[in-house]
Amino acid sequence: MDVINLTIDNKPVVVKKGTTILEAAKGIGVHIPTLCYMKLEDLNIENKPGGCRICVVEVEGRRNLAPACCTEVHEGMVVNSHSIRAINARRTVMELILSDHPTDCLICAKSGNCDLQNMAHYLGIRKIHYEGEQSHYRKDTSPAIIRDVDKCIMCRRCEMMCNEVQTVGVLSAINRGFNSVVAPAFEMNLDHSVCTYCGQCVAVCPTGALTEVDETGKVVRVLSDPTKTVIVQTAPAVRAALGEEFEMEAGTLVTGKLVAALRRLGFDYVFDTDFAADLTIMEEGTELLNRLGKHLAGDKEVKLPILTSCCPAWVKFFEHQFPDMKDIPSTARSPQQMFGSIAKTYFADKLGIKREDLVVVSIMPCVAKKYECGRDEFKVNKNPDVDFALTTRELAALIKISNINFRTLPNEDFDNPLGESTGAAVIFGTTGGVIEAAVRTAYELHTKKELPRLDFDELRGMEGIRKATIDFGGIPLHIGIAHGLGNARKLLEEIQAGKSEFHAIEIMSCPGGCIGGGGQPYHHGNAEILKKRQAAIYREDSKKSIRKSHENPYIIKLYKEFLGHPMSEKAHHLLHTAYFDRTEEKG
Amino acid sequence: MPKIKLSDNTINIIKDICAEFQNKESELINVLHKTQGKLGYLPAEVQEVIARELNSSVARVYGVVTFYSFFTMIPKGEFPISICMGTACYVRGAEQVLSEFKRQLKVEVGESTSDGKFSLNCLRCVGACGLAPVVTVGEKVYGRVAPTQVKEIIAEYREMNGAESKIA
């Protein structure tokens, strides 16, 4: 291996050839500030356009300053990361960026979480010496994401996420010089584009240029309406991340405090999306077994592999980009929508109230869930099954403005009947979890035998595409897992080409699955946070006394009292859906 | 922007150009250049076909089209009028000539008249500084143009038939 010797701030360093100055400095604990640069280790996600020039350093013998993030080291290099020239250049660059940036930090949605604000503070900027024209663009509001590109600093992180990681291709830098900005083609609104609302652009945006649609105000209003019964469901990944908003260590499980906080906010019943995740497994698992049974009986028409359908961004992705395959995914609705559907029928009946008087709020790690609950097929007489979907971040904001001291809350339990769940449901929150949960149930329903083990380590991890074969009582079941839509695309193209080896594939749009969702507390490019959330999810699973969906007593009761059996006519009506060809909608 | 429907013929022209460059995304600029040469301009619908053929995103194609001032999404008139804004022409009154064209044609720079007859643009130096200020209409060059001549120049082309818009 070729090694390079250099010195950074008078410290000798030995690194591999091809290493950047930034990485070499990091290795010896020298912090070089960066802004546009972002790297999520182990997820193969890196943004280094060398655009912002905050990371410039002085290199002896080099005429100009070198951007540390994208300059490779060379033998004998002498780097000074804080020469007066480098510091002045950095501060000038920052002032120039700020001279074309609104200074409404006090009321910006990103305030306190803004990389630009943090960097201005880090560099000690107290005055902007440059005055000039400021860019003004139309604000673009979609069902899930708001683009306020006056705040765009052209770091290109969103563009990288949208194109390279997700391969959705909605966002691109357009125009030139002062007029350049990141926008959809022809500057159309996001809701006219093929945007999936995965929210990964929001997750990486360093400023307030991309944010979720804030619906906390609407939720506060319904909570104070005495004529409404307001219930809440909370997705599995929320409990593994919400604590971060309250300065708790990443990966802290806050399930009990989350329930307590929701109760104090005034929700009449605090339920768990995990209950609906168990229900999803019953339906999706049965569908898998049905298709598999037909396939084994020699039916050539049956569609395999079956694809999971829990993720609304993934659903919108294939509706736009692979409409010819819209009969392959499971028809099972997502847990959020199954919950809403059951709440506004089964539970409303139990309470003896009309569906219009029951308001369902969901807390999601996701911004696409806002779009999903607004889809027409999830409404009855224009009344949506789920009224509002808040992100983890919005919930944190709501808790803060309601004077609830989250850290000192006691642990409380979910209400019944829609609050009981199993370990299989909680792992829905991470890549690999849905398929593992499905395997636990489908195996036992198929073989009529108890699983010898519950942890399927071969399905777990952070690899973008994973595959495993599970022995299903003599039948080898080939399973594929993809997270990130670019990885999903690869598996879809295999299916299209007739080359797929899989029986079942799990797809989640966000890198890491829902733990890395677009509505989660900002990770600021630190992939360790995602890994800690993932570990927390598996910890919660292993602590649960029931870890298989079909053993959830309230699920058994729901089928007995109301639905009949999985894939029954009623289940079809309430828990399944159809997909649409959206190729014509674009443009 | 009004929607246009491309004819099969136009779509085939674009497809052929893309194929000529092996449908490679890396050849995007060449494809755009050649397509504009054939069709006169690059409206949204044309960019969509190119994106599809090159397996690229429309956003990326649009990004390139808007980056280079050479590419245009607006059809040029039958008679494209350009006023030189180079230093020599500018100091000899090109701006007043331009204003007069704007006033008479009722268009801004970069636009076309509603009948599609004329389009108005600026350019930088045609290498005829001795004739400043210079105006070109199509291939024809007019030198030492005064604002008072603008009316005459326009009249010359009013009744003439020029190149038809090439996107049918």
The pLDDT tens digits along chain B (168 residues) read: 567 889 999 999 999 999 999 999 999 999 999 999 899 899 999 999 999 999 999 999 999 999 987 788 988 888 989 999 999 999 999 999 999 999 999 999 988 898 889 999 888 788 889 999 999 998 899 999 999 999 999 999 987 876 555 565
If we measure between CA atoms, which residue out of A243, A241, A231 comes closest to residue A271? A231
Query: Does any CB of chain B come closer than 8 Å to the CB of residue A172?
Result: yes
User: Which of A159, A186, A496, A584 has the highest number of chain B CBs within 10 A, making it the mutation to test binding with B?
Assistant: A186
> CA B136, CA B84: separation in Å to the nearest integer?
8
Q: What is the pLDDT along chain A (587 residues), one digit of tens a residue?
A: 689 999 999 999 999 999 999 999 999 999 999 999 999 998 999 999 999 999 999 999 999 999 999 999 999 999 999 999 999 999 999 999 999 999 999 999 999 999 999 999 999 999 999 998 999 999 999 999 999 999 999 999 999 999 999 999 999 999 988 999 999 999 999 999 999 999 999 999 999 999 999 999 999 999 999 999 999 999 999 999 999 999 999 999 999 999 999 999 999 999 999 999 999 999 999 999 999 999 999 998 899 999 999 999 999 999 999 999 999 999 999 999 999 999 999 999 999 999 999 999 999 999 999 999 999 999 999 999 999 999 999 999 999 999 999 999 999 999 999 999 999 999 999 999 999 999 999 999 999 999 988 999 999 999 999 999 999 888 899 999 999 999 999 999 999 999 999 999 999 999 999 999 999 999 999 999 999 999 999 999 999 999 999 999 999 999 999 999 999 999 999 999 999 999 876 54
**A window 528-567, beta carbon within 8 A of B:** none
* A393 neighbors A520 (Cβ within 8 angstroms): yes
Q: Do B61 and A185 touch (CB under 8 A)?
A: yes
Tell me the pLDDT tens digit for each residue of A82-110: 999 999 999 999 999 999 999 999 999 99
Reported pTM: 0.91
Please list every residue in chain B whose beta carbon sits closer than 8 Å to the beta carbon of residue A186.
1, 44, 58, 62
Q: How far is CA A519 from CA A239, A242, A262, B75, in A?
A: 13, 11, 18, 43
Domain ranges for chain A: 3-122, 140-212
Rounded CA separation B84/B132 (Å)? 8
List Cβ neighbours of A250 (8 Å cut-off, separation of 6 or more): A241, A243, A244, A528, A529, A532, A533
Place of tokens 């919930």: A395
Judge residue A212's burial from the number of C-beta atoms within 10 Å of its C-beta, 0-12 exposed, 13-18 middle, 19 or more buried.
buried
Residue ranges covered by each domain of chain B = 8-67, 79-158
Q: In the numeric block, which tokens belong to residue B148? A: 């008072």
- Residue A397 has φ and ψ, to the nearest 5°, of -65, -40
With beta carbons less than 8 A apart as the criterion, state whether B42 and B36 touch.
Answer: yes
Tell me the angle at which helices B44-53 and B28-39 cross, rounded to the nearest 10 degrees: 140
ipTM: 0.88
Q: d(Cα A308, Cα A312) in Å, to the nearest integer? A: 11
Helix (H) / strand (E) containing A172: strand A172-174
Cβ neighbours around A204 below 10 Å, total: 26
Contact A79, A9 (CB under 8 A): yes
The answer to whether the CB atoms of A183 and B59 lie below 8 A apart is yes
The confidence score (pLDDT) of residue A587 equals 43
Question: Is B26 near chain A, with CB under 8 Å?
Answer: no
Q: Which fold would CATH assign to domain B79-158? A: Glutaredoxin (3.40.30)
Phi, psi at A407, each rounded to 5°: -65, -25
Packing angle between helix A273-296 and helix A335-342, nearest 10 degrees? 110
Tell me which chain A residues have a C-beta less than 8 angstroms from the C-beta of B42.
Answer: none
Which residue reads 């989350």 in tokens? A258
User: Contact at 8 Å (CB) between A399 and A439?
Assistant: no
Backbone region of residue A119 per phi and psi (left: phi > 0; alpha: psi in -120 to 50; beta: other values): alpha
How many other β-carbons are positioned within 10 Å of the β-carbon of residue A392? Answer: 26
CA distances from A169 to A161, A190, A193, B157, B162 (A): 9, 12, 10, 44, 39
Instruction: Return the half-sphere exposure (C-beta side, CA atoms, 13 A cut-off) of residue B61.
Output: 29
Retrieve residue B40's tokens: 């006169």
Chain A residues within an 8 Å CB radius of B63: 172-174
The size of chain A, in residues, is 587
Domain A140-212 matching CATH 3.30.70.20: the answer reads yes
* A3-122 CATH fold: Ubiquitin-like (UB roll) (3.10.20)
Tokens 């729901």 belong to residue: A558
Is B60's Cβ below 8 Å from some Cβ in A? Answer: yes
Q: Which residues of A touch B67 (CB under 8 A)?
A: 173-176, 180
- With a CB cutoff of 8 Å and minimum separation 6, the contacts of A258 are A234, A238, A239, A242
